[in-house]
Structure 1
Amino acid sequence: MNEQGPWISPGPEPGPGSRGGDGLRGDPNRSGGRKAAGAALLILLLICIAAALLFIRSQTVAWPPPDWIFAACDVGQGDALALAVGPAEAVVIDTGPDPAKADHCLTLLGVRKVPLLVLTHFHADHIDGVPGVLKGRAVAEIETTNDRDPPKGASEVAAWASAASVPTSVAAAGEHRRFGPVSWDVLWPDPAAESLTTPPTPPTLPTPSDPVHKSRRRGRHQPRASPRGGGEEGSGPNNSSVVLQVTVATRDGPVRLLLTGDVEPPSQAAILAAHPDLAADVLKVPHHGSAHQDPDLFAAVHPRVAVISVGKGNTYGHPVPRTVALASGAGARVFRTDDDGQVVVFGTAARLRVATRRQDSMP
């Protein structure tokens, strides 16, 4: 975990009956007030030290935290996510570009069973790690988007599934599933709005310092893509990503997550129009924090935690500063796999916590 300890989401704000301030009574200038304040500060310091010692000890004892809910793997430039659904069991969403890194992440999480592997779309940075997920694990089903583009990626997934005797299915808007404490609804892709998945030129959130902004001013902007299309901006496959609205039951209420694949503004707007209530505790920021975002989506989700799955030093400029600011401006604490490593959300609805662990600190 990081040396600073887990981040804990803010609790409820003081109600009308709260005294506010430091809660001390009397005149703070009196010696009794000063002594009381000093004693309170000492007690608080001792509590903080004790908590820090417990946390430091936990770094060497257990990873992930025993009550983990969601994990974003550190797989470089790509997405690989997991939802805990039972002992040693997780639903996996995307696999990143590297089988070894996908396997390593799930091994660290203790995942040996995968009742469902969801592939949001067929770009390499979301599917090339599939063999790593299949390695030594019981995978019951692979579910994909309905858009088989790029064809090479779709064919590879079909071949891997066939070789491992894993059945495949296609996700569609309106589908509802549940595994253990985790349930979700598929919000996208929606066959009734297929024309929205191939936009001509989606809007962006450029800043004067962004490379995309500069190239547009010179009239030379072109989508930046990997040889297999893993990073294309404004692409049909991105906008056909499977989007899941997830609910995790905890002892004091539900934790809500919105997992967005690489959807860009046309699909983001269509999803928001069809599902105005997108509020969630955790947002997986679309498309690695690219410039192609709809600010209304972030405002509607208003997450406590925003996770950007992205590779350090990637050639696409992900994430752009404006999108990071957009996420934090919506009220979220932002975590990035390039800076923070593996990101794990754990705890309960009332006490939602985040722990991070970099690859160089892992055994």
Structure 2
Amino acid sequence: MADRGRGTAPDDRVPDVGRAGGRDERPPVTRLDGRLLVPALSAWAVLTALLPRPVEVSAGVGLACLGLALAAAGWRRAARSPPRHRARPAGPGVRGLLSLTLAATGLVCTGASAHLATDRAGPVGAWAEERAVVSVEGVVTTEPRVVSRGDERTDLVVLHARLSVVRGRGVVSAVRTPVLVMANAGEGWEDLSWRGSVRTTGRLRPPEPGERHVAVLTPVGAPQHRAEPSGLLAGVDHVRDRFRSAVQPLPADARGLVPGLVIGDTSLTPEDLTEAMRATGMTHLSAVSGSNVAMICGALALLVARLGVRRRWRTPLVLLGLVAFVLLCRPEPSVLRAGVMGSVGLLALSSGRRRVSLPALAVAVVGLLCVDPWLARSYGFALSTLATLGLVLWSRPWGDAIAARLPRRISLLGDAVAVPLAAQVACAPVIVLLQGSVTTVAVVANLLAAPLVAPTTVLGVVAAVVSPFSVPLARLVAWAAALPAWLIGRVARACAELPWGTLDWVDGVAGAWLLTGVTLVVLLTGPWWRHQLGRRPWAGWGMLAGAVALLWPDPRLTAWPPPGWVVIGCDVGQGDAVLLRSGPSSAVLVDTGPDPDPVRRCLRDAGVDRLDALLLSHFHADHVAGLQGLDGMPVAVAYVSPVRDPAASATDTLRHLSDVGVPVVELRAGEGVVAGGARLETLSPGPRPVVGESAANNGSLVVDARVGGLAVLLTGDLEPEGARSVRPVVEARDYDVLKVAHHGSARQDDDLVVGTDAEVALIGVGVDNDFGHPAPRTLDLLRDAGMVVLRTDLDGDVAVSTVGEHLVVHRRR
């Protein structure tokens, strides 16, 4: 009789056939169960679409899905025991999947509706629409962040808070409403502690559509009452403060990266290093991410094992350490996401538990969306999920395949290469959506940095633990962590400067879908290509080159500047810089933005090697502070506003122009000049400038530019008071392009905007700026007037060209 204990086990494991190079055999390869991903991703997609909708919509969809899930489950249960004379119904797996999808969608949608109902309960939303002045009490929920306004005004302090009490209109209400607080620096707001309580008076206004917070609060003066967190939270704050003191003497890159890797504090990271890490796909190393969490958990697991802790206590101790780490980093949504995804990533890299990693990822996605529905619209959440999915699907098989082709002594490099490669491939479509380019150095950069992350993180954690007891001792440990951290910065900077480090790609959603399609084609046809390359190398390589040439986007779709460009709006952050083409390699530059580097890059990329004129609309820093970016470029003349406000900025600007030998001419209404192929006519300011709420803004040069067959109206930061004086002239003319005033703020003269009859509206504005630019009201006004809206925060550099009598718009992202 056959031995029933022998033979092939009815599980999903298949034997490993061995590897070249004499590697030791790993445990059998495990097939993954991805069925739960369908419900998780479906729920995520539905929640993303419903979040901006009223609470009733998400609640209705959630309850309907839960009801249908219960009905489907009952139907499936009834179908499991059919009469004996009937065959078992086909496809119970499909019905089960449908039930799970409905259940997951119902769960996240009802959870989101509960969150939204709690957040929006009370009078805060209605009072924000009325811009009411209220007294509030609440708790700070994020670290305060100081933001430069880009002009002579006081810097802003930005933080999030959850209100508990609000008083206004003779009513006192208990609420749980999240708000964004925007206060003036220097009044004590920057000194508030996370989870500290605060009381203040301020004015409410509505947020941008789709934002997490219900209102924006602008306080009047300093916080009136503050209570610091106590107990455990006070201890956490003490550790963070002492750790910051310990890293202060370190070199700039290390001083930013060590606290970034250890406690998620990126406030000390130099801006140029942040940009370099973004360009090289290393941003996950400059802040707390899933990889950091996995590393901490791995180090803790090794430590408790070496200490001889019994096996049953090891997991609880590691989880306790993980909780302490999350508290140290602040249990904000991004840190919670990193903690959960890092734990799933450990499962993916574990040989014994890899099979449960995909179901664990699906459960993690649904669980996190239930805890914080707004993660559904977070790029960080998308990147974390995709990176974890890449590790689960590909890191192990790719690592084995690479190692099989390496000598035994360096076979461990297989896993080292496969981990960043898998994460990069999975995240590439979202990165293209954000950056408009494909990085070619991310895998190399992450491979070089990988051996440096562990010592930086572990030594940094040791320094943080030691710092409450002895800052000098913690400083010694921090110096040990500084060397690998500094080397990570050097890797990022060196790789960011490599030629061909990034390749242009098709912009926007179309580019993301195209890269997704190309990636799927490569993955699905990979075995066939490998077979062809092994069987007929020359023919295989020829077909591969042909496929790449066929699938790679046409350079004409990604080349910059576009042929025949007339106007370019430069992406210079929260500021303005516009190029008017006045010759084959010359232009008129209108404003320089807030920083030298972006405007210098814009001129270089546009192929401009000299300026026939520089036009400075007014002297706020977000329009003139990038002036040094023109150093070394021939500038024929600078035209400026006669309104020298703010005085200090005007003096510095004029002095710099004089030092570099650029002649300066003031322009007033009615004066016209010719600069190369461009004709410029000044419409404002007149002999008696308007003051209004801002003398500087209303003193902006308003210029009618005729260039390349187009009529362009440039409005600086003109306010409604100043717009009234130029409205009659504007309404009597037709324009093709309108440079929207004041970065698309809500303070627009509607009649002036509509009266331009322009086809294209150009808005210079920074990503996630703290001023709410561009205002939804302004966007609606422009679209209702039939204009195509180009905005540099979403589109990057933008351009307008002509084909015959038609305008063509171009977005670099």
- TM-score for both structures, normalised by structure 2: 0.32
Identity %: 42
Q: CA deviation at 1:314?
A: 1.0
Give deviations 1:96-148, integer Å, cap 9, x for gaps: 00001110111101111012111000000000001102x22101111110011
Per-residue CA distance 1:64-112 (angstroms, 9 max, x = gap): 0231100110000000011011121000000000001110111101111
Structure 1 position 136 matched with structure 2 position 632: yes
1:344 counterpart letter in structure 2: A
- Equivalent in 152, 157, 174 of residue 670 of structure 2: 174
Aligned residue among 141, 146, 149 for 2:642? 146
In the alignment, structure 1 residue 331 sits paired with structure 2 residue 786? yes
Q: Name the structure 1 match of 2:771.
A: 316
Match for residue 68 of structure 1?
Answer: 565
**What secondary structure is seen at the aligned counterpart in 2 of 1:86?**
coil
Confirm or deny that 1:57 pairs with 2:564: no
Q: Deviations over 1:13-53 (max 9, x none)?
A: xxxxxxxxxxxxxxxxxxxxxxxxxxxxxxxxxxxxxxxx9
For 1:266 and 1:273, the matched residues in 2 are separated by 14
Q: Residues 336 and 182 of structure 1: is their aligned pair in 2 closer, same or farther, counting only changes over 3 Å?
A: same
Measure, in 2, the Cα distance between the counterparts of 1:268 and 1:342: 27
Question: Structure 2 vs 1, CA of residues 322 and 147 (structure 1 numbering), >3 Å: closer, same or farther?
Answer: same
- CA positional deviation for 1:325: 0.7
User: Against the structure 1 CA distance between its residues 294 and 331, is the aligned structure 2 distance closer, same or farther, given a 3 Å change threshold?
Assistant: same
- Alignment-mate amino acid for residue 750 of structure 2: P
Where 2:731 maps in the other structure, the secondary structure is: coil
| Contact 2:581 2:707 (8 Å CA) reproduced | no
Rate the CA distance shift 1:331–1:118 in 2: closer, same or farther, 3 A. Answer: same
Determine the structure 1 residue equivalent to 2:575: 78
**Is the CA contact (8 Å cut-off) linking 2:578 and 2:590 kept in structure 1?**
yes
Q: Which residue of 2 aligns with 1:289?
A: 744
Q: 1-side partners of 2:757 and 2:804: how far apart?
A: 15
Q: Does structure 1 retain, via aligned residues, the 8 Å contact 2:730–2:756?
A: no
Q: Per the alignment, in what secondary structure is the counterpart of residue 315 of structure 1?
A: coil
Residue pair 1:67, 1:346 contacting (<8 A) in 2 also? yes
The match for 2:597 is 100
Q: What is the SS of the residue equivalent to 2:582?
A: strand
Kindly report the root-mean-square deviation, in angstroms, between the aligned alpha carbons of the 2 structures: 2.0
Amino acid at match of 1:68: W
Q: TM-score, normalised by structure 1?
A: 0.70
Please give the alpha-carbon distance, in whole angstroms, between the structure 2 residues aligned to 1:142 and 1:305: 27
Cα distance change of structure 1 residues 174 and 348 upon mapping to structure 2, 3 Å threshold: farther
Q: 1:189 to 1:268 in 2, by over 3 A?
A: same
Separation in 2, partners of 1:75, 1:112:
18
Q: Say which SS state the counterpart of residue 237 (structure 1) adopts.
A: helix
Contact 2:731 2:752 in 1 (8 A): no
CA distance in 1, matches of 2:640, 2:712: 19
1:202 is matched with: none
2-structure distance, mates of 1:349, 1:303: 18
| Paired residues of 1:112 and 1:136 also in contact (CA < 8 A) | no
| 8 Å contact kept, 2:730–2:755 | no
CA 1:4/1:315 → structure 2, altered by over 3 Å: closer, same or farther?
closer
State whether residues 255 and 348 of structure 1, in contact with CA within 8 Å, keep that contact through their aligned partners in structure 2. Answer: no
Greater Rg, structure 1 or structure 2? 2
Match of 2:702 in 1: 243
Distance across 1 between alignment mates of 2:771 and 2:733? 28
Distance 1:246 1:317, change over 3 A: same
One-letter amino acid of the structure 2 residue matched with residue 139 of structure 1: V
Task: Provide closer, same or farther for how the CA distance between residues 180 and 139 of structure 1 changes in structure 2, counting only shifts above 3 A.
Answer: closer
Q: Which residue of 1 aligns with 2:32?
A: none
Q: Distance in 2 between matches of 1:328 and 1:121?
A: 27
Does the Cα contact within 8 Å between 2:731 and 2:756 map onto a contact in 1? no
Q: In the alignment, what sits opposite 1:2? A: 507
SS of the residue aligned with 1:138?
coil
Gaps of 5+ in 1: 6-52, 200-233, 359-363
1:54 shift after superposition? 11
Q: 2:107 is matched with which residue?
A: none
Distance (Å, rounded) in 2 between the aligned partners of 1:90 and 1:328: 29
Q: Could you say if the C-alpha distance between residues 65 and 55 of structure 1 is closer, same or farther in structure 2, counting changes exceeding 3 Å?
A: farther
CA distance in 2, matches of 1:258, 1:349: 21
Amino acid at match of 1:163: D
Q: Between the two structures, name the one with larger relative contact order (CA 8 Å, sep ≥ 6).
A: 1
Name the aligned partner's letter for residue 137 of structure 1.
M
State yes or no: 1:161 paired with 2:657.
yes
Q: 2-side partners of 1:314 and 1:278: how far apart? A: 33
Q: Distance in 1 between matches of 2:739 and 2:748?
A: 13
CA-CA distance at 1:313 after TM superposition: 1.1
Matched to 2:633, the amino acid is R
Secondary structure, counterpart of 2:700 in structure 1? coil
Q: Does the 8 Å contact 1:272/1:278 carry over to 2?
A: no
Specify the alignment match of 2:612 in structure 1.
115
The answer for the alignment partner of 2:75 in structure 1 is none
- The residue type paired with residue 769 of structure 2 is N
Greater share of residues in strand? 1
Contact 2:590 2:615 in 1 (8 A): yes
Residue 298 of structure 1 aligns to a residue in which SS? helix
Match of 2:731 in 1: 276
Higher percent of residues as helix = 2
Among 267, 279, 290, the alignment partner of 2:722 is: 267
SS in structure 2 at match of 1:115: strand
Residue 87 (structure 1) aligned to one of 584, 595, 600: 584
One-letter identity of the residue aligned with 2:649: G
Give, in angstroms, the shift of residue 348 of structure 1: 4.3
CA apart distance, 1:269: 1.2
Cα distance change on mapping 1:55 and 1:120 into 2, 3 Å: farther
SS in 1 for 2:665: strand
In the TM superposition, residue 55 of structure 1 has moved relative to its aligned partner by 7.9
Contact 1:2 1:355 in 2 (8 A): no
Greater mean deviation of Cα atoms: 344-353 or 278-287: 344-353
Residue 125 in structure 1 maps to residue 580 in structure 2: no
Q: Deviation string for 1:171-230 (max 9, x for gaps)?
A: 111111223432121101111x42xx211xxxxxxxxxxxxxxxxxxxxxxxxxxxxxxx
**Match for 1:57: what amino acid?**
P
